Amino acid sequence: MRIISWNCSSAFRKKAEAILEYRPDILVVPECECPENLKFPEGIEAPGDLLWFGSNKHKGLGVFAYGKYHLSVSKNHNPAFRFIVPIIASGNGMKFTLFAIWANNPEDTDGRYVEQIWKAINYYKRQISGSCILIGDFNSNTIWDRKRRVGNHSDVVKFLASKKVHSAYHEHFSQTQGKERHSTLYMYRQKDKAYHIDYCFLSEDLLGSLENVEIGHFKKWMRHSDHVPVIITLRSES
């Protein structure tokens, strides 16, 4: 199974061909336009399942499934966590909870970015104890932790670790949080303003099936977005 997260920086319909070259089974797309606006060019494969969340028709959170994979919103979905959505994903002998993430809620006075994730993982902690994937644009990194602040990036990582859920990138490349050698965001599309803020966290049962992690290259993706994709490949059971 291949699962990809890519913040497309709007107008996904014009950029889909680039990411579909990687043949995702599940694709998480922050800053994606609403389904009514997704008029793909001829020849672009249509997803078998599509979920979309948001109030701005030009910028929401899109989740796409291809091939034999299917998606349904979890019954305990809490819309208060605007762009952190638990989804039941299944296909090819696999079934797990997919938390699609775009940590961005300016209406929350407690904090619009990593604070959203902190609240959500505490609310959904029972589901996180099972087979799960948390993937998307976290808008966070340990380098921005604030002293004596509850719910920063390090707190999120520690909480997930207590549930035996770990970052696929950091495990695969033996990296330390905050010292990543690959970047996923190039602010203003400038190579010298690079940060690692997009992640895929896997429960241990899925981490054991991890085959590969790929981070997109600056030169290829900057004409499309200020983010590069995070590409995760897992062994499927069938």
Residue 236 banded pLDDT, cuts 50, 70, 90: confident
pLDDT at 237 over 80: no
What average pLDDT does range 62-78 have in this prediction?
97
In three-state secondary structure terms, 179 is coil
CA atoms 117, 64, 175, 124: torsion sign: positive
What average pLDDT does range 82-94 have in this prediction?
95
39-67, pLDDT tens digit by residue?
Answer: 888 889 899 999 999 999 999 999 999 99
In three-state secondary structure terms, 84 is strand
Tokens 């330390």 correspond to: 176
Kind plus residue range of the DSSP H or E element containing 209: none
| Structural contact between residues 29 and 68, judged by C-beta atoms closer than 8 angstroms | no
User: Which pLDDT value is given to residue 146?
Assistant: 85
Residue 49 structural domain = 2-234
At position 63, the amino acid (one-letter code) is V
* C-beta atoms surrounding 127 within 10 Å: 18
Beta bridge mates, 113: none
How many structural domains are present in the chain? 1
Query: Which whole-number Å values give the CA distances from 121 to 102, 124, 134, 193, in the listed order?
Result: 14, 5, 10, 29
158-199, pLDDT tens digit by residue?
Answer: 999 999 999 999 999 999 999 999 999 999 999 999 999 999
CA atoms 163, 203, 31, 225: torsion sign: positive
Residue 69 banded pLDDT, cuts 50, 70, 90: very high
Query: Which whole-number Å values give the CA distances from 9 to 15, 35, 45, in the listed order?
Result: 10, 16, 20
Q: What is the DSSP letter of 187?
A: G
CATH of the domain at 153: 3.60.10.10
Q: Which residues contact 35 (CB under 8 A, 6 or more apart)?
A: 50, 52, 62
**φ, ψ at 23 (rounded to 5°):** 50, 65
Give the global pTM. 0.96
